[in-house]
Amino acid sequence: MLKNVFTNLTATYTQNNRLIQQLWSEIEIAYSHPKRHYHTLSHLEHLVAELSIVKEQLQDWSTVLFSVFYHDIVYNPLRRDNEERSAAIAENRLFTIDVPTTIIESCKTQIMATKAHEHSDDGDVNLFTDADLSILGQNEDTYKEYTLGIRKEYALYPDMIYKPGRKSVVQHFLQMDRIYKTESFFLKYEKQARQNLQRELEEINI
C-alpha cells in the first residue's frame, strides 16, 4: 500500500519510473533497518491512515505525504539532529523530481516540527505532528508495544541512562496544556494519551 501511495505521489512530478523506484527503495531500506522497532514502515502506514481521516482539513495533502515518507528517514538514537538530516534528504530528493520549492520548504518545516511537537500557526503542521503523536493515545496494549519498540531502539543504553531520558520525554508531554493541537486529535486521543503516559511514568519510577 505504501509503495503505491508513494508511486502515485511522485508520479505527479516525474515520469521517470526508474528514479521513482530508486527513491522508494531508499525509503523502504531506511525504515526496514533491523535496529528499527517502532520507526518502521508500519509507523508510516499508521500515519497515512490517521491523516487520511482528516484529509479534508489539510490544505496540501501532497506535501503532508512527502513529510510522512521522509520525516524519519534518518533515525539514529545516538544523534540529536535526525530531523535536520531527514529534512535535508527530503529537500534533495524532492528537488530531483522537480517538486516546487514552496512544497519542499513546507515539507522541511513539517519534518522539523516533529522535533518539539509545539503548536504552529500552520494547520497542516499541527495535523501532521498530531498524527505523529497519535500512538500515544492508542489502547493500552498498543501503547505498551510502542514503548517496548522505543526501548529496543535505544538498546545500547543501560536502564540507568535510558530511564531518566525517557522519564523526561514522558513528563514533557504530560506538562503540555494540550498534547494534541487540533480538535480532531484532541477529542480522539488526549484523554487516553495522558492515561498511557501517566502509567508509563509510574512504571519508570518503580
CA diameter of the chain: 56
Q: What is the pTM of this model?
A: 0.96
With a CB cutoff of 8 Å and minimum separation 6, the contacts of 190 are 137, 178, 179, 180
Average pLDDT rounded to a whole number, residues 96-123:
97
Average pLDDT rounded to a whole number, residues 122-127:
98
Average pLDDT rounded to a whole number, residues 75-103:
97
Domain boundary assignment for the chain: 1-118, 133-206
pLDDT digits (tens, 9 = 90+) for 147-191: 999 999 999 999 999 999 999 999 999 999 999 999 999 999 999
Angle, helix 17-31 to helix 82-96, in steps of 10 degrees: 170
Q: In whole angstroms, give the CA distance from residue 89 to residue 26.
A: 11
- pLDDT at residue 206 in the model: 74
Alpha carbon dihedral 47, 52, 89, 97, in 10-degree steps, equals 150
Average pLDDT of the chain?
A: 97
- Amino acid letter for position 20: I
